[in-house]
A and B are shown apart, each in its own frame.
Chain A
């Protein structure tokens, strides 16, 4: 795969020669390489699934694309409102702006301010985009209801929810704004078949809207339904 020319503007996400490792200063500066030379791109409306054995660095790569981990080398190019921006070099404010508008991320675990009701947790990304509180809540409620969160739970903080319910709140938070790019880190892991089907529907709708998706799914069912392409990470590492 050779990409690098700026005239190829079709890709929503493009990774070029990504290198990542960790230096553990507390262990005498031990260095752990994770991968080197990862290259791929994802087009709008395409869903790419990362595969590979546990510990191979799938989540690490997701976090690199989200700008959470800092790459040691290479470029992570994100189409942010028509401009390809390199997350590795971008300043924090640009990354914040990208996350606010362009790049959504559904993590494995829900992390939120305690005591905040579920509907407000979900509505929050919209509020930072300037949507009115009432509208944001309405959209959050609709999405949570669709994900089978009972209405009586909407006003409760998610800390009291079951694992599956928390996961669905997390998914709702990722889908409440139509991000052009979505990163999904095992969103269906702790869901039953019915809810999994709903999430698959949500993802299919997002794809139809032109959302570029990168996901990790251990569930082969979901993977088969949603994946357009698979990228096996062990090969990437072996190539390095």
Chain B
């Protein structure tokens, strides 16, 4: 596939300028390629962290469900449903901010803020509920932290993927559009300049021949 050449004046100065632009484009492509590699390494690391976190979350939720099932077995479905009617939900909020990450890209940062009252009070009736229910709540609260961190990692991974995609597009544009275009233009300008040189040389030779003929006459 031949690249379209740029509309330039075929001058030597333009040729120099085009060559400089080509060198610059190649340099930029190399830098972008290195950025891309760094981003891919960061992506792999974040993906591994997300995988570990997902496993931890799974484990935590399994423990919580297991404790919930134990509670249900101890106090029964009726009592558990009844207790759930008045149990206050876990109050929490997620604070979102950004922090510079790899290559200075602003990465999202999620922070789970739990609204804890100043006075510690039992959540459930102390006589009716077994300790498994409180342990379950504690596990779910921990799981909530994991969920928020996992959401943060997912957002970071999405951000990295977007930047990778952008960088890849930039590299492709430089490598497969700008550089071939510059190369085509350089070749065109070189051809024109060679043609001009050849014409000039012929013209010089004709003039020289005519001058010699005049001298002979």
A binds B: no
